[in-house]
Structure 1
Amino acid sequence: MNLATSMFLLSVFVPMMVLLAAWILNTRSTENREKSTPFECGFDPASTARIPFSMRFFLLAIIFIVFDIEIVLLMPIPTTFMKSYAPHILTTYSAFVIVLLIGLFHEWDEGSLDWST
Structure 2
Amino acid sequence: MFSLTMTMMVSIALPMIMMTLAITIAKKNISDREKSSPFECGFNPQTHARLPFSIQFFLISMLFLIFDIEIALILPLIPIMKTSSIKFWWISTSTFIVILLVGIYYEWNQGMLNWAI
TM-score past 0.5 threshold: yes
Residue 85 in 1 paired to residue 88 in 2? no
The amino acid across from 1:81 in the alignment is M
Q: Report the alpha carbon displacement of residue 15 of structure 1 after superposing the two structures with TM.
A: 7.5
In structure 1, stretches of 5+ residues that fail to align are 36-42
In structure 2, stretches of 5+ residues that fail to align are 37-42
Cross-structure match for 1:61: 61
Task: Tell me how many residue pairs correspond in the alignment.
Answer: 108
Q: Which has the higher contact order (CA 8 A, sep 6+)?
A: 2
CA distance in 1, matches of 2:100, 2:21: 47
Q: Which runs of 4+ in 1 moved over 6 A?
A: none
CA distance in 2, matches of 1:107, 1:97: 15
CA distance in 1, matches of 2:14, 2:106: 53
CA distance in 2, matches of 1:89, 1:18: 58
Give % identity: 29
Cross-structure match for 1:32: 33
The amino acid across from 2:90 in the alignment is L
Are the structure 2 counterparts of residues 86 and 52 from structure 1 closer, same or farther at C-alpha, using a change threshold of 3 Å? same
Cross-structure match for 1:39: none
Cross-structure match for 1:105: 105
- Tell me which of 9, 13, 22 is aligned to 2:12: 9
CA distance in 1, matches of 2:14, 2:93: 47
Q: CA RMSD in A?
A: 3.7
CA distance in 1, matches of 2:18, 2:48: 34
Are the structure 2 counterparts of residues 53 and 88 from structure 1 closer, same or farther at C-alpha, using a change threshold of 3 Å? same
Cross-structure match for 2:46: 46
CA distance in 1, matches of 2:11, 2:23: 19
The amino acid across from 1:32 in the alignment is R
**Per-residue Cα deviation, 1:41-69 (whole angstroms, up to 9, x for no partner):** xx865223310000000000000000001
**Per-residue Cα deviation, 1:4-63 (whole angstroms, up to 9, x for no partner):** 536732674377448846x955xx96x83789xxxxxxx865223310000000000000
**TM-score, reference length from structure 1:** 0.65
Are the structure 2 counterparts of residues 75 and 33 from structure 1 closer, same or farther at C-alpha, using a change threshold of 3 Å? closer
**TM-score, reference length from structure 2:** 0.65
